[in-house]
Structure 1
């Protein structure tokens, strides 16, 4: 199995998912908060997504990491590099649980995983796919150096795609 890294930032630990993370993940994915990600999702689909986030490490050498706040030890969401049949390109994505938005966690976690992917995997580009109404995540993408790419193939019809280039 591919080793799943643990990454550290000033305020966060990005660590492998464990079963104790599943209840909060499942609650998020079953809630209206997941509507920008095709949700709310039914229970069996949520389990498949959680398991896929872990399996991608073995299949592609990247996947999802949980976002944990160093000061409290609380898991506040997830950041990941997604790929596979449902993704035209490798995607940098994130989600934060209720009450943790607006604190810079997505930007800090996304930047750390983006940099890890460029340095460790040798990728030259990543994209993020957004529902057209997800302005907050598009703003995070712009803070991470993402540039809107209307020529990129979207994951779903109507998606807005932002692109990150290594070295920028």
Structure 2
């Protein structure tokens, strides 16, 4: 089996009109773990215990070294973290996935759409990212709405990690 080279891609800081997307730090874990322990994580295979949440958090961070992309935290200008957006990859994902999660109290303000659009546009400007999909639980109406606001369309024939998930395909913008 050929060996992979660890990439030295540092996570970017991406600024939008209202948000700052930045690299995760250890201090982000308590809020992340609380989200994953809540019923709100049911659409992501949860709720998760602390050990499971730590594994997912480390996965999000490690992808930057392994693939040159990964998760970014969604900060408000006040410094409050409202959630996370990321590009997931690796053996658990048939394709690179654009995903998002918003912490309680920050929903319904367009943060997920704004952050996901910014990371999608950044990703499509990088070498090696030709396609992006979002895997969405069919009962997660809010994430379906985000995917549709982003202009993604259902791709019924796409592979998916969970056979029950919907797959929304994000089109690469025309040059």
Q: Work out which of the residue numbers 46, 69, 74 in structure 1 matches 2:80.
A: 74
Which one of the candidate residues 138, 141, 153 is aligned to 2:147? 141
Q: SS where residue 31 of structure 2 aligns?
A: helix
Q: What does residue 63 of structure 1 align with?
A: 70
The structure 1 residue matched to 2:49, chosen from 42, 46, 49, is: 42
Q: What pairs with 1:1-168 in structure 2 (closer than 5 Å)?
A: 1-70=8-77, 72-167=78-173
Unaligned runs of 5+ in 2: 1-7
- TM-aligned CA deviation for residue 4 of structure 1: 1.0
CA distance in 2, matches of 1:145, 1:155: 22
1:65–1:78 contact (8 Å) kept in structure 2: yes
CA deviations 1:47-83 (Å, max 9, x no partner) are: 010011000000000000000011x110000000000
Q: CA RMSD in A?
A: 1.0
Q: Which moved more, 1:150-159 or 1:109-118?
A: 150-159
TM-score when normalising by structure 2: 0.93
- Structure 1 distance, partners of 2:9, 2:21, is 16
Aligned pair count reads 167
Mapped contact 1:123–1:166 kept (Cα < 8 A): no
Q: How far off its partner does 1:122 sit? A: 5.0
Q: Which deviations, in whole Å up to 9, do the C-alpha atoms of 1:14-48 show, x marking residues without a partner?
A: 00001111100000001111000000012111101
Question: Which 4+ runs in 1 deviate beyond 3 A?
Answer: none
TM-score using structure 1 length: 0.96
Structure 1, unpaired ranges of 5+: none
